């Protein structure tokens, strides 16, 4: 009897934790463990035809949530974020293109989103307490005006 494969598209590597890579412009901001807020929602618009009872509904202005990402503080990635925050402070937060990638536990890419006009609006780090065995967690909050998923990636 053959054993099922534990690797590949239907295997164990997808059942394990994902990692997330973040870029801003040409800089890598490292690997992250938690991401929330990558979403879009459309307002609903109505169009009434003349003074008849007939009307049409369609998607209007899209709205994007704030992207909130977290990870254990680490030397290289945390330093890259601090450099980016210093640049934003100097430039006043000029929006730039960036990206968020989902990787399997083995490091293979699952999906990539290009974030349009992104910039940070908040950064924090958890309390420092050496009496507990918890690591310091940094959290970065980013706004963006859209994301682009290459259609060819999904067979369209």
Helix (H, G, I), strand (E, B) or coil at 152: helix
Cα 63 to the center of its chain, rounded Å: 15
Position 143 scores a pLDDT of 94
C-beta of residue 38 within 8 angstroms of C-beta of residue 66: no
pTM of the predicted model, to two decimals?
Answer: 0.76
Task: Delineate the domains of the chain, giving CATH numbers in brackets.
Answer: 12-154 (2.30.110)
- What string of pLDDT tens digits covers the 156 residues of the chain? 443 333 444 444 444 577 899 999 999 999 999 999 999 999 888 888 888 888 888 888 889 999 999 999 999 999 999 999 999 899 887 899 999 999 988 888 888 999 999 999 999 999 988 888 889 999 999 999 998 765 444 444
User: Cβ(119)–Cβ(96) under 8 Å?
Assistant: yes
């Amino acid at each position: 009897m053959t054993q099922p494969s534990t690797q590949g598209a239907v295997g164990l590597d997808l059942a394990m934790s994902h990692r997330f890579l973040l870029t801003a412009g040409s800089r890598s901001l490292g690997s992250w463990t938690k991401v929330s807020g990558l979403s879009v929602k459309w307002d609903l618009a109505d169009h009434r035809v003349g003074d008849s009872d007939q009307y049409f509904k369609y998607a209007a202005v899209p709205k994007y949530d704030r992207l909130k990402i977290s990870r254990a503080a680490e030397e290289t990635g945390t330093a890259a974020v601090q450099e980016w925050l210093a640049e934003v402070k100097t430039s006043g937060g000029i929006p730039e293109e960036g990206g968020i990638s989902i990787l399997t536990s083995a490091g293979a890419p699952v999906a990539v989103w290009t974030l349009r006009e992104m910039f940070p609006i908040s950064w924090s780090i958890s309390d420092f307490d050496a009496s507990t065995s918890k690591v310091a967690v940094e959290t970065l909050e980013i706004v963006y005006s859209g994301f682009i998923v290459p259609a060819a990636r999904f067979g369209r």
